[in-house]
């Protein structure tokens, strides 16, 4: 059973194994607010152990850049809105990986990385990506980066 993320009352449900659980919960709520406001989509997550196919797909896309994260995945979500498939993985260390994959061949496709407030840059990303900062009422300071997806997945 999934957990519909409430962005009005931030909760650490499902994220309590993270040392940065409050910041990660704020980041998850920030994503939920974005999808509710932009697409009227309710952001629902499930434990990563319940959706191995989502993890497998995200890992195949990450392999394009030879990225393999050692942190434990806590939650995932996978949905399609407006002709775009979105998949998210929330890791215990505070990292959030999202894949935006347009179903139309001419559409945009990218992988985004967001770091929860207070977490260090993961060694897998250190030196290879520059991170922009964004302020969020729900998540504090979010550091983010991305790369364009070139392959077909």
Predicted confidence (pLDDT) per residue in 107-152, tens digit: 999 999 999 998 999 999 999 999 999 999 999 999 999 999 999 9
pTM for the whole structure: 0.95
Are 64 and 151 a contacting pair, CB within 8 Å?
yes
Provide the 8-state DSSP code for 141: E
Domain for residue 28, yes or no? yes
Domain for residue 35, yes or no? yes
Number of domains in the chain: 1
Output the CA torsion sign for 113, 12, 135, 31: positive
Domain for residue 153, yes or no? no
| Alpha carbons 117 and 74: distance in angstroms, whole number | 17
Residues 6+ apart with CB under 8 A from 6: 29, 32
Residue 131 belongs to domain spanning: 3-148
| Alpha carbons 123 and 70: distance in angstroms, whole number | 9
Domain for residue 105, yes or no? yes
Domain for residue 115, yes or no? yes
CA dihedral 129, 43, 75, 77 (to 10 degrees): -80
Predicted local confidence at residue 10, as pLDDT? 95
| Alpha carbons 37 and 58: distance in angstroms, whole number | 25
Predicted local confidence at residue 1, as pLDDT? 67
pLDDT per position as a tens digit, 38-83: 999 999 999 999 999 999 999 999 999 999 999 999 999 999 999 9
Predicted local confidence at residue 43, as pLDDT? 97
pLDDT per position as a tens digit, 2-21: 899 999 999 999 999 999 99
What is the token pair recorded at 49? 């152990």
Domain for residue 86, yes or no? yes
């Amino acid at each position: 059973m999934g957990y519909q993320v409430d962005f009005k009352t931030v909760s650490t449900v499902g994220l309590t194994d993270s040392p940065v659980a409050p910041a990660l919960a704020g980041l998850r709520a920030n994503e939920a607010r974005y999808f509710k406001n932009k697409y009227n989509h309710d952001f629902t997550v499930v434990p990563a152990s319940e959706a191995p196919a989502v993890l497998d797909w995200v890992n195949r896309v990450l392999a394009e850049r030879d990225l393999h994260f050692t942190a434990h995945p806590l939650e995932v979500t996978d949905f399609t809105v407006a002709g775009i498939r979105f998949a998210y993985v929330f890791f215990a260390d505070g990292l959030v990986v999202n894949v935006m994959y347009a179903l139309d061949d001419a559409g945009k496709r990218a992988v985004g990385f967001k770091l929860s407030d207070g977490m260090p840059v993961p060694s897998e990303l250190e030196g290879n990506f520059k991170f922009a900062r964004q302020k969020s009422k729900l998540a504090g300071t979010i550091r983010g980066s991305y790369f364009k997806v070139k392959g077909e997945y």
